């Protein structure tokens, strides 16, 4: 299937209590919310695997486990990102977030970092992505993003301050 896709990952890194997760895209929360909303439908197959009801949606943040092999600098290669945030997996789970091991693809080409890729579920429930979030005038889209923004702000706060690469 052309375009982006997401699958459950059943290989690679296993999340442990002491694992740090890295998050790129640290600057513009409006873009983060819009991207998560735009990608929500990609997660329907994973939700079906987990038995979540039809009409239920998840909004996620893409993250990577930091390991000896997968350092922040290596994870950033070829991305253009210059900063990142880090949070302990245990702290994210303690705050009520699910962390799903996933693989991401663009036009059926796997991301080379898939072995350490995770999606942090920021929000879950019915009606998260409404038509006014993706269509409508600027003010309408802004208001719709504003509805979701607090959940993303809480999740991003767990990651702490941005750290420079390099």
Instruction: Parse the chain into domains and list their residue ranges.
Output: 4-160
Residue 20: band (very low, low, confident or very high) from pLDDT cuts 50, 70, 90 = very high
Q: In this model, does residue 160 exceed pLDDT 90? A: no
Whole-prediction pTM value?
0.93
Band of residue 29 on the pLDDT scale cut at 50, 70, 90: confident
pLDDT attached to residue 1: 53
* Mean pLDDT of the 59-76 span: 96
Q: How far apart are CA 165 and CA 47, in angstroms?
A: 34
For residues 48-54, give the mean pLDDT: 92
The two beta strands, 20-23 and 56-66, are: antiparallel
Q: How much is the pLDDT for 102?
A: 98
Query: Count of CB atoms within 10 A of residue 8's CB?
Result: 13
pLDDT confidence of residue 25: 75
Q: Is the dihedral of CA 72, 75, 77, 79 positive or negative?
A: negative
For residue 26, pLDDT over 70 is answered with no
Percent of the chain beyond pLDDT 90?
Answer: 75
Helix, strand, or coil here: 83? Answer: strand
């Amino acid at each position: 299937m052309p375009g982006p896709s997401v699958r459950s990952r059943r290989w690679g890194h296993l999340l442990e209590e002491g694992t740090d997760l890295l998050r790129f895209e640290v600057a513009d929360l409006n873009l983060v919310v819009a991207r998560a909303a735009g990608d929500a439908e990609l997660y329907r197959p994973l939700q079906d695997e987990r038995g979540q009801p039809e009409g239920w949606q998840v909004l996620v943040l893409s993250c990577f486990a930091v390991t000896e092999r997968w350092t922040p600098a290596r994870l950033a290669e070829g991305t253009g990102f210059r900063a990142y945030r880090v949070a302990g997996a245990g702290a994210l789970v303690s705050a009520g977030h699910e962390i799903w091991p996933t693989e991401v693809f663009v036009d059926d080409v796997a991301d080379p970092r898939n072995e350490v890729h995770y999606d942090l579920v920021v929000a879950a429930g019915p009606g998260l992505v409404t038509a006014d979030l993706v269509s409508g005038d600027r003010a309408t889209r802004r208001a719709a993003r504003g509805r979701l923004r607090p959940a993303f702000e809480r999740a991003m706060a767990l990651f702490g301050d941005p750290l420079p690469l390099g």
